[in-house]
Amino acid sequence: MQIRIVTGTGAGRTALSAYDAALAAANVHDYNLVTVSSVVPAHATVERVGTAPDLGPVGNRLTVVEARATVGPDTAAPACAALGWTRAADGRGLFYEASGPDERAVREAVEVGLADGVALRDWEPTTRGIETVRAAPGAADVVAPAATPEDAYTVTVALAVYGDSTPIA
């Protein structure tokens, strides 16, 4: 199984429309996302791709681990989301996610979470990565009609996308 790391930022007149815009920037907006708890199967590969390729028909289910940050209108702080991962020699691994207004604090929270998760499982990490997304309020790839930076919500997302989509029914 291939796990792709994708990212996006978006802005909109509501928090949900900004989230949809961020998912569109990552090219996962046409799927029903199912969030899982962050375990990497031993046989999976993890690859940063930025934007997802076509992963199947619109409306399918897509399994993800998601880091998301949202800031509201007239907020001076940026939206920062980070998704980190670590792998053992046998391939098994973990994802940890964090969000907030301070990029350094968000990255540190991911590092601490990964270290705690590895210690809990009593295995030695061999690889590690972190993908961080930061967006200034209102400064996003997609802005909903009539939204301006002063009245827009901003969302950043970093997702680990597990394989291709599958039918819901």
Distance separating the N- and C-terminal Cα atoms of the chain: 21
* Domains delineated in the chain: 2-166 (3.50.20.10)
pTM as predicted: 0.90
Check if the beta carbon of residue 19 is closer than 8 Å to that of residue 157: yes
pLDDT tens-digit map of 55-85: 999 999 999 999 999 999 888 888 899 999 9
Q: Which residue has the higher pLDDT, 4 or 139?
A: 4
Question: What sign has the CA pseudo-torsion 13, 29, 52, 97?
Answer: positive
